[in-house]
Amino acid sequence: MASAALSSLMYTLEQLFKPNQSFVCPCSTQHLQSLYQNLSALQLFLDNTTTKDIETLKFIEKRIRDVIYKAEDKVDLSLRSIVLADCTENKEGACKFFEEELVQVEKDVDSLRQEVMQNEFNKHGSKSAVTLSSPEKSTIEENSIVGMEDDFNTILDRLTAQTDELPVIPIFGMGGIEYSERQMLLELVSSITGSKQETSNGELMEIVYRGLKGRRFLIVIDDIWGTEAWDQIQRILPKDNNKSRILLTTQLKYVADYVNNPDFLPHSKSFLSLEDSWNLFTKKIFIKDHCPPLLKEIGKHIVQQCQGLPLSIVVVAGLLVKMDLTHDNWKEVEENLDSFFGMVSERCQSILSLSYNYLPQYLRACFLYIGGFREDREIDVYKLIRPWIAEEFVKARSNKKLEVVAEEYL
């Protein structure tokens, strides 16, 4: 983790700033301060980054991680040589070695900072200079709604209900696209004016409000992750009582409760019945045609192994649609489900990892730490947050105990 690597090296430097650190030469102070400032700038960059370009962000995090780990190794090893020096002459040589390593580390980190800042992808919406290959996309582009007909009709009823007020219709369930205030504003402005306008968020808000004022509109917002995001959005929505509507999706029930009365909260289903699974499977492969009788039995067995998971069904269908529709090909898939489901697992993980990618940097280490506990067992809260504090994952806040902050993290 990039943030954890930065925090670790910054902690080491903070110890060197303390009084009575006699093994650090005074001439090293300037280099230490410069290095610490560059590390702080990188940490600030990660903390404030909000982007949909997850692959580019991963690339940048890996660059930071690799450089900082090497830098920390150099600092730790050179400090160790000072501590272990057994005479004045050896200590002077060790101090000189520490200064030389520190100067090189300072240059490496400063170069990294400049490289990262040049991307500016999260602030200005410009594409990064880094070229990355995108994950393989399925050739199937058609979207299907399966097993949600009742919810669909309920949503339709709410959208067309005879009320002049501005209702918000929340739907919560599995993840989609991360929320980005600026991207949302740009798309709203584009829908209203017919063109995208690169200007400040405040000016974009004004354009949206004026553009919607007095007009009847339907706005669909996918995927809200917090009440603050909704507070930002609703400020720019005029309430003219002209039958306008807001349709909103979220993975978090408390967000859905916050934006509207929780009496109506359609939940996107995570598991499908066998019948719905088969319908989704055949729609993805045959679109409007029927499954040939020769493939029905073996096809239903394959679907059964997907255990009602829509993502698994879609991915397996995507594999089969690339093959000739023969019994032998489907039989080969059936006999090698383990390897095929290994591929499915990777594809599903890449989609569900949006939830992890959404987490702010300071929470990622806390989340990953949970992997050290036994699966399918209750975890005592204090047995979790105490190691978080010991590992310095939890940052102090004014007038709050670390335990309280850690519980807020949890």
Q: Print pLDDT tens along the chain (410 aa).
A: 788 788 888 888 888 877 666 556 666 778 888 888 888 888 888 877 655 566 677 788 888 888 999 988 888 888 888 878 777 667 778 888 888 888 899 898 988 888 887 765 444 443 333 332 233 333 334 455 666 667 777 778 878 877 777 777 777 665 444 656 677 788 888 888 887 778 888 888 888 888 888 888 888 887 776 777 777 778 888 888 888 888 888 777 777 778 765 444 445 555 678 888 898 899 889 877 889 999 999 999 999 888 788 878 888 888 888 788 889 888 888 887 766 666 666 666 665 676 677 677 888 889 889 989 987 788 999 999 999 998 888 888 878 899 999 999 99
Nearest alpha carbon to residue 397 among 368, 362, 357:
362
Helix axes 293-305, 337-352, angle to 10 degrees: 60
Nearest alpha carbon to residue 144 among 359, 374, 360, 314:
314
Tell me: do 93 and 18 sit in the same domain. yes
In degrees rounded to 5, what are phi and psi of residue 130? -75, 130
CA distance 288 to 290: 7
Tell me: do 193 and 248 sit in the same domain. yes
**Which of the listed residues 347, 379, 400 is the one where a domain comes to its end?**
347
Question: Which is it for the CA torsion 227, 230, 235, 237, positive or negative?
Answer: negative
pLDDT at residue 148, rounded to an integer: 65
pLDDT at residue 98, rounded to an integer: 84
Q: Which helix (H) or strand (E) holds 249?
A: strand 245-250
Residue 319 corresponds to which tokens in the numbers above?
């594999």
Q: Is residue 127 part of a domain?
A: no
Nearest alpha carbon to residue 250 among 172, 179, 176, 181:
172
**Which of the listed residues 296, 312, 347 is the one where a domain comes to its end?**
347
Question: Which is it for the CA torsion 391, 397, 402, 406, positive or negative?
Answer: negative
pLDDT at residue 23, rounded to an integer: 56
Q: Is residue 304 part of a domain?
A: yes
Tell me: do 190 and 295 sit in the same domain. no
Nearest alpha carbon to residue 257 among 230, 219, 275, 222:
230
Helix, coil or strand: residue 226: coil
**Which of the listed residues 259, 289, 317 is the one where a domain comes to its end?**
259
Q: How many domains does the chain have?
A: 4
Q: Is residue 197 part of a domain?
A: yes
pLDDT at residue 297, rounded to an integer: 92
Cβ 314 vs Cβ 272: under 8 Å: no
Specify burial of residue 159 (Cβ count, 10 A radius: 0-12, 13-18, 19+): middle
> What residues make up the domain containing 294?
274-347
Q: Is residue 352 part of a domain?
A: no
pLDDT at residue 57, rounded to an integer: 76
pLDDT at residue 232, rounded to an integer: 77
Beta strand 245-250 with 168-172 is parallel
Residue 322 corresponds to which tokens in the numbers above?
């690339």
Nearest alpha carbon to residue 67 among 102, 30, 113:
113
Helix, coil or strand: residue 150: helix
Q: pTM for the whole thing?
A: 0.43
pLDDT at residue 131, rounded to an integer: 30
Cβ 410 vs Cβ 384: under 8 Å: yes
pLDDT at residue 381, rounded to an integer: 93
CA distance 198 to 309: 41
> Who contacts 128 (Cβ-Cβ below 8 Å, separation ≥6)?
53, 56, 119, 121
CA distance 21 to 409: 34
In degrees rounded to 5, what are phi and psi of residue 84? -85, -5
Q: Is residue 153 part of a domain?
A: no
Output DSSP code: residue 292.
P
Nearest alpha carbon to residue 5 among 409, 397, 364:
364
Question: Which is it for the CA torsion 120, 123, 127, 133, positive or negative?
Answer: positive
Please tell me the number of Cα atoms within 13 Å of 272 on its side-chain side: 24
Which CATH number do you get for residue 89? 1.20.5.4130
Q: Is residue 266 part of a domain?
A: no
CA distance 158 to 265: 11
Q: Is residue 89 part of a domain?
A: yes
Helix axes 201-212, 181-193, angle to 10 degrees: 40
Q: Is residue 52 part of a domain?
A: yes
